[in-house]
Structure 1
């Protein structure tokens, strides 16, 4: 009986030491993640959503001027990846209507254009407004309105949203 208790005690001691080491490793990992998050704070005037920071300047520019301004801020025009992000972007528009987003058409040859995001990714989910074509025969850029619907234009001045 005493040998059985000694074996159980040794097993418990070994389990405790293993748990203690794992706890210490988890604490270290947690601290690393906290440090990483601290380093990802959004600059003043930017708003956080998910892992990104967003900025909507008050001025209006062309799509290309907007993209250049975002680059100058260490960002690019927003790439919208899902319904929740699209809702967030539309809420940024509530004050002033419409904003350029990082979606444009690129030539695929033979006067045919395909929608692509500024990060090079293809368009997989769309929130196109009714009547907006899926493919085009010219260069266009997309903008988002207050309802989160995407429309297209090939010129003009609009607000814009940067993401980093």
Structure 2
């Protein structure tokens, strides 16, 4: 009987010791897991920090580049404004400034060839209309009647073009225009609706010269 009790006591002691060992191992494992989680979080946070830091560096670099470009653009705008002021002030008497050109509207009348020759003597040529705003400006100059412009067509060539050799990219013809005949006929601007019409080259009309200034 006593022997059995002693054996049970020894067995219980062994179990208690094993339990304590397992409990200590579990505590150590929990601590290691905790430390591992902390290291992983730190690594993730460090990676995120590095990523944000790199993004910030790139943004700062982009900002500096944009700042330099902005300063350069401001200087260019300032120079252009000053240049325009000089150009406007130096515009010859009888001429009008619009955009990058000077314009001269005649008071006398000549044929298309005579009108172009007059423009050339002034260091210019008959006006070339490149866009809607310029068309509106030329229309205002022609309120007192149609004027010769630098648009012409020779039947042997078959197509309309400007005196500087550029093709028509935007047209403002009146209804029913241009006429399709075999004569050498230049264009005029503008009718009462501000549209182009086709005239006969030997007709006498006023004209509009254009000189590029920029």
Pairwise TM-score range, normalised by the shorter structure: 0.7 to 0.9
| Structure 2 partner of 1:63 | 112
Aligned partners of 1:115 and 1:135 also within 8 Å = no
1:151 corresponds to which residue? 198
| 1:32 CA drift (Å) | 2.6
Counterparts of residues 30-41 of structure 1 (less than 5 Å): 30-41=77-88
SS at match of 1:36: helix
Residue number in structure 1 paired with 2:100: 51
In structure 2, how many angstroms separate the alpha carbons of the residues matched to 1:108 and 1:86? 28
1:161 is paired with a residue of what secondary structure?
strand
Select which of 153, 156, 173 maps to 1:128: 173
Higher relative contact order (CA closer than 8 Å, sequence separation 6+):
1
Aligned to 2:163: 118
Residues 106 and 207, structure 2, Cα contact 8 Å, conserved in 1 = yes
Q: What residue in structure 1 maps to residue 209 of structure 2? A: 162
Counterpart secondary structure, 2:199: strand
Q: How much has 1:151 moved relative to structure 2?
A: 2.5
Q: How many residues align?
A: 148
Shift of 1:22: 6.6
Q: 1:82 aligns with which of 125, 131, 143?
A: 131
- CA–CA distance in 2 between the matches of 1:27 and 1:122? 35
1:29–1:133 CA distance, 2 compared to 1 (3 A): closer
Range that drifts further, 46-55 or 126-135: 126-135
Where does the alignment leave 5 or more consecutive residues of structure 1 unmatched? 1-10
Rounded to whole Å, the distance in 2 between the matches of 1:115 and 1:136 is 13
Contact 1:91–1:146 at 8 Å: present in 2 too? no
Instruction: Report whether the alignment pairs 1:73 with 2:118.
Output: no
Structure index of larger Rg: 2
Q: Provide the secondary structure at the position in 2 that maps to 1:100.
A: strand
More strand by share: 1
C-alpha distance in 1 between matches for 2:136 and 2:154? 26
Cα shift at 1:162: 0.6
